[in-house]
């Protein structure tokens, strides 16, 4: 095993900032939905909008970073070993079986994670952002001046925004569980804090720039 610098500074900042904003959006969003009361409806709406704009800005920077560094290649889907990966999560992990896909600097996420994260980036986040913007700037056609978007009914937008919220909750729960499936129960968490992770040395291709 060798300690390898696998997660760069911006990558870790993006991960934790995005995690905080998703949690905060979920908290304020479900309050706006009427699930509970904490901030109060009006304040929850204001905080939800601020967090939403912050997430959009963060996503824009993350997209630029991924393409500038070539890290977007990490999310190219592959079906190779995906059946083994699914079996590992269902049964193998409870039998202390070896991980079917070894992590490297050039391949940080396994085939199943690639599909899930890609879906998150190109389906779920765009769904939440699009429906959120439509909901935010919605005006009735017979409303006052300053109409931005005119839609006859909000129910479809609210329906899909809520579905997306529950899918994000499901993703977060699964993600929290899967971070415990590393070499130790805390190794994945520590790696996303320090940037370093213990990997099998013989399978690593570490470039000089990754250690800067």
| In the chain, % of residues over pLDDT 90 | 50
In this prediction, residue 198 carries a pLDDT of 84
Can you name the residues that pair with 107 across neighbouring β-strands?
104
Specify burial of residue 80 (Cβ count, 10 A radius: 0-12, 13-18, 19+). exposed
Domains annotated on the chain, with CATH: 2-211 (1.20.950.20)
Residues 22, 26, 27, 29, CA torsion sign: positive
Residue 1 has pLDDT above 50, yes or no: yes
In this prediction, residue 201 carries a pLDDT of 67
Tens-place pLDDT, residues 4-54: 899 999 999 999 999 999 999 999 999 998 889 999 999 999 999 999 999
Instruction: Quickly state the pLDDT bin for 150 (edges 50, 70, 90).
Output: low
Provide the whole-model pTM.
0.82
Distances (CA, A) of 118 to 113, 135, 141, 166: 8, 25, 37, 18
CB 135 within 8 A of CB 151: no
Specify burial of residue 24 (Cβ count, 10 A radius: 0-12, 13-18, 19+). middle
In this prediction, residue 106 carries a pLDDT of 81
Residue 193 has pLDDT above 60, yes or no: yes
Please state the separation of Cα 13 from the chain's center in Å.
Answer: 13
In this prediction, residue 98 carries a pLDDT of 81
Measured CA to CA, the distance from residue 127 to residue 133 in angstroms comes to 10
**Overall average pLDDT of the 161-189 stretch:** 88
Distances (CA, A) of 162 to 11, 22, 41, 131, 167: 28, 14, 17, 9, 9
In this prediction, residue 24 carries a pLDDT of 97
Specify burial of residue 164 (Cβ count, 10 A radius: 0-12, 13-18, 19+). buried
In this prediction, residue 145 carries a pLDDT of 53
CB 110 within 8 A of CB 83: no
Instruction: Quickly state the pLDDT bin for 151 (edges 50, 70, 90).
Output: low
Measured CA to CA, the distance from residue 97 to residue 107 in angstroms comes to 21
Distances (CA, A) of 61 to 47, 58, 133, 194: 21, 5, 19, 21
Instruction: Quickly state the pLDDT bin for 148 (edges 50, 70, 90).
Output: low
Lowest-confidence region among 45-49, 60-64, 156-160, 201-205: 201-205
Can you name the residues that pair with 2 across neighbouring β-strands?
199
Question: Beta strand 138-139 with 149-150: parallel, antiparallel or unpaired?
Answer: parallel
Helix (H, G, I), strand (E, B) or coil at 199: strand
Task: Please tell me which residue, 58 or 143, carries the higher pLDDT value.
Answer: 58
Distances (CA, A) of 133 to 67, 124, 126, 156: 25, 14, 10, 14
Tens-place pLDDT, residues 99-113: 888 888 888 888 888
């Amino acid at each position: 095993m060798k300690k390898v610098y696998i997660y760069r500074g911006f990558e870790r900042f993006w991960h934790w900032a995005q995690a905080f904003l998703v949690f905060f959006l979920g908290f304020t969003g479900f309050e706006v939905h009427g699930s509970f009361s904490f901030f109060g409806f009006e304040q929850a709406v204001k905080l939800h909008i601020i967090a939403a704009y912050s997430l959009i800005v963060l996503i824009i920077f993350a997209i630029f970073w991924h393409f500038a560094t070539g890290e977007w290649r990490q999310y190219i889907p592959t079906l190779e070993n995906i059946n083994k990966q699914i079996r590992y999560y269902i049964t193998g992990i409870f039998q202390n079986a070896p991980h079917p896909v070894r992590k490297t600097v050039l391949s940080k996420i396994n085939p199943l994670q690639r599909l899930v994260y890609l879906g998150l980036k190109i389906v779920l986040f765009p769904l939440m952002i699009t429906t959120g913007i439509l909901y935010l700037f919605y005006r009735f056609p017979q409303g006052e001046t300053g109409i931005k978007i005119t839609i006859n009914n909000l129910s479809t937008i609210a329906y899909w925004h809520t579905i997306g919220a529950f899918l994000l909750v499901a993703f977060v729960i699964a993600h929290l569980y899967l971070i415990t499936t590393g070499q130790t129960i805390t190794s994945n968490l520590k790696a996303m804090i320090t940037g370093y992770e213990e990997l099998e040395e013989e399978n690593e291709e570490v470039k000089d720039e990754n250690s800067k």
